Amino acid sequence: MDDASSEIYYAQLVEEESTVTVMAGLREVIEDKGVFCALYSDRGSHFFYTPAAGGKVDRSRPTQVGRAMQALGIQTIAAYSPEARGRSERNFGTWQNRLPQELRLAGITSLDAANRFLRDRYMAEFNSQFSVPAQERGTAFRPCSRKDLDFIFSVQTERVVSKDNTVAIGERWWQIEKSRWRYSLAKQTVTIHQHLNGTVSIRFGPHVVGRYDASAQPLLSEAKAKRGGKGGSVEAGENQKQAFTGSPTPLEIPLKARDSHFPTAPMTGSSKEARTKTKKAAA
CA atoms within 13 A on the CB side of 232: 19
Helix boundaries (H) for 12-85: 19-32, 64-71
Write the Ramachandran bin of 232: left for phi over 0, alpha for psi from -120 to 50, otherwise beta: left
Quick one: pLDDT band at residue 84, thresholds 50, 70, 90? low
pLDDT at 221: 59
- Answer with the residue of higher pLDDT: 255 or 191: 191
* Report for 79-93, 172-186, 233-247, 256-270: range of highest mean pLDDT: 172-186
Inter-residue contact 198 to 160 (CB < 8 Å): no
Distance CA 90, CA 85 (A): 9
Report which of 35, 262, 44, 236 is spatially closest to residue 152, judged by C-alpha positions: 35
Pick the CATH number of 19-130 from 3.90.1280, 3.30.420, 3.40.50, 1.10.1660: 3.30.420
Sign of the Cα torsion 59, 64, 66, 67 reads: positive
Mean pLDDT for the chain overall: 82
The DSSP 8-state label assigned to residue 85 in this structure reads G
The DSSP 8-state label assigned to residue 82 in this structure reads G
Inter-residue contact 75 to 40 (CB < 8 Å): no
- Answer with the residue of higher pLDDT: 199 or 239: 199
- What is the pTM assigned to this prediction? 0.75
H or E, element range at 90: helix 86-105
Give mean pLDDT, residues 144-162.
96
Please count the residues of the chain.
283
pLDDT surpassing 80 at residue 237: no
pLDDT at 208: 94
Distance CA 183, CA 196 (A): 30
Write the Ramachandran bin of 160: left for phi over 0, alpha for psi from -120 to 50, otherwise beta: beta
Taking the domains of the chain in order of start, what are their residue ranges? 19-130, 149-282
| Pairing label, strands 172-175, 189-195 | unpaired
Give mean pLDDT, residues 258-264.
43
